[in-house]
């Protein structure tokens, strides 16, 4: 019994019987009687360069149809010296794919914007074994497999990033960074957001506050401290408590001393570790401080997922998904050789339930 013939797809001639390999441009060139360069120009529909007659174009297109030729997407990408791949590299010890990880919303914004722009993503996971520094001096060299790379993390190796920037490789850091020179970054407006939180506390009557932060020079931390100071300039007095290990150094006794000295509000920064807020909550509970009756608490960011229980903290929410999308827009512009600028993204104030008037305010 004769087998039924396969129906050809509309607009495309079937490949010759018995053929299994993909037809190549060289075969199209031989059949049309022209050079392979001419075939490449015609199939790419390039009108610039050498003039190609309409008759030659017709011969090339007919030859391609008769052979069943279709462009090889991989070859196209190689010819363009681009892979349509954007890298994502995290300097955290574990790559942030858990939905409860504070970086996860960044990745949601990255993925959506990349898909919208026709890019695929490559997630570089070597950092999951202990951070980029654990892999040696050339830990970041593999990101060159992509057309450009987006980096996440507070503690990035400046020297290695500097080499990428100096080589002209498109790099964007998610979060403000002062080093290396020339590095592009996108960030949230932490200065204005922190100033707004302190202004809210001042409006409730607080005049003495303490900021609890980690002991490093990460730009996100310095921006929050700057906003804290600016918010207090005209209304009161503030001090800053810095610690490499807040959960060890912020004791209930220290909180009680501050309260005895007239402090009525405590403000903690948010980081990827959550250490400052975790330490403040624990110390306040151990000291028997009821919030906001005895003192007000505020968080410059959103609470870690494992501390989402209890009253919602006064503070602000970081637009992580929007920041991820902005980072991809900037990286795509750099890959295309265009000017790349993105404004600071505003944070959203969160009134919360952990702040109120200072003790005794109703008596005045």
Question: Taking the model in full, what pTM does it have?
Answer: 0.70
Please, where are the H alpha helices in 129-169? 158-166
Task: Please tell me the distance from the alpha carbon of residue 255 to that of residue 214, in angstroms, as a whole number.
Answer: 17
Q: Are 271 and 220 in contact (CB under 8 A)?
A: yes
Alpha carbons within 13 A on the beta-carbon side of 359: 13
Minimum mean pLDDT among 32-41, 62-71, 123-132, 286-295: which range?
A: 123-132
101 pLDDT more than 60: yes
325 pLDDT more than 70: yes
Q: What's residue 110's pLDDT?
A: 93
Residue-by-residue DSSP string for 209-275 = EEEEEESS--HHHHHHHHHHHHHHTTT-EEEEEEES-HHHH--HHHHHHHHHTT--EEEEE--SS-H
Question: pLDDT, tens digit, for every residue of 195-218?
Answer: 999 999 999 999 999 999 999 888
Q: What's residue 20's pLDDT?
A: 47
Q: Are 298 and 354 in contact (CB under 8 A)?
A: yes
Rounded to an integer, the average pLDDT of 161-173 is: 89
Residue 239 forms beta bridges with which residues? 210
Rounded to an integer, the average pLDDT of 174-192 is: 91
Minimum mean pLDDT among 127-136, 214-223, 311-320: which range?
A: 127-136
Higher pLDDT, 172 or 105: 172
Q: What's residue 7's pLDDT?
A: 36
Question: pLDDT, tens digit, for every residue of 109-163?
Answer: 999 999 999 999 998 865 544 444 444 456 688 888 899 999 987 777 888 888 8
282 pLDDT more than 90: yes
Rounded to an integer, the average pLDDT of 49-76 is: 77
Question: pLDDT, tens digit, for every residue of 256-278?
Answer: 999 999 999 999 998 878 899 99
Task: Please tell me the distance from the alpha carbon of residue 50 to that of residue 196, in angstroms, as a whole number.
Answer: 62
Question: pLDDT, tens digit, for every residue of 5-33?
Answer: 333 333 344 445 544 456 777 788 889 99
Alpha carbons within 13 A on the beta-carbon side of 234: 4
Task: Write down the mean pLDDT value for the chain.
Answer: 83
């Amino acid at each position: 019994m004769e087998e039924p013939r396969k129906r050809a797809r509309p607009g495309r001639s079937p490949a010759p019987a018995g053929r299994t390999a993909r037809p190549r441009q060289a075969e199209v060139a031989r059949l049309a009687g022209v050079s392979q360069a001419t075939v490449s120009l015609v199939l790419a529909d390039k009108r610039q360069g050498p003039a190609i007659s309409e008759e030659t174009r017709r011969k090339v297109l007919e030859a391609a149809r008769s052979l069943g030729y279709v462009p090889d997407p991989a070859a196209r990408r190689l010819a363009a010296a681009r892979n349509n791949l954007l890298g994502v590299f995290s300097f955290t010890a574990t790559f942030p794919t858990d939905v409860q990880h504070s970086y996860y919303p960044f990745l949601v914004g990255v993925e959506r914007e990349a898909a919208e722009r026709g890019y695929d993503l490559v997630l570089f996971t070597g950092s999951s074994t202990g951070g980029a520094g654990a892999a040696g001096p050339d830990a970041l060299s593999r990101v060159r497999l992509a057309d450009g790379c987006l980096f996440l993390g507070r503690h990035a190796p400046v020297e290695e990033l500097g080499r990428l920037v100096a080589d002209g490789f498109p790099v964007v850091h998610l979060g403000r960074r002062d080093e290396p020179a020339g590095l592009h970054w996108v960030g949230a407006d932490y200065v204005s957001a922190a100033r707004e939180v302190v202004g809210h506390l001042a409006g409730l009557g607080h005049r003495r506050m303490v900021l609890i932060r980690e002991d490093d020079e990460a730009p996100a931390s310095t921006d929050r401290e700057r906003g804290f100071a600016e918010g207090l300039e005209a209304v009161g007095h503030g001090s800053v408590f810095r610690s490499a290990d807040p959960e060890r150094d912020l004791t209930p006794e220290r909180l009680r001393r501050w309260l005895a000295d007239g402090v009525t509000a405590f403000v903690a920064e948010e980081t990827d570790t959550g250490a400052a807020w975790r330490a403040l909550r624990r110390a306040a509970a151990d000291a028997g401080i009821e919030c906001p009756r005895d003192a007000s608490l505020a968080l410059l960011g959103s609470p870690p997922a494992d501390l989402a229980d209890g009253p919602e903290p006064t503070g602000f929410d970081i637009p992580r998904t929007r920041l991820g999308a902005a980072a991809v827009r900037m990286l795509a512009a750099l890959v295309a050789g265009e000017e790349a600028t993105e404004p600071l993204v505003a944070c959203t104030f969160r009134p919360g339930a952990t702040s109120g008037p200072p003790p005794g305010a109703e008596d005045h």
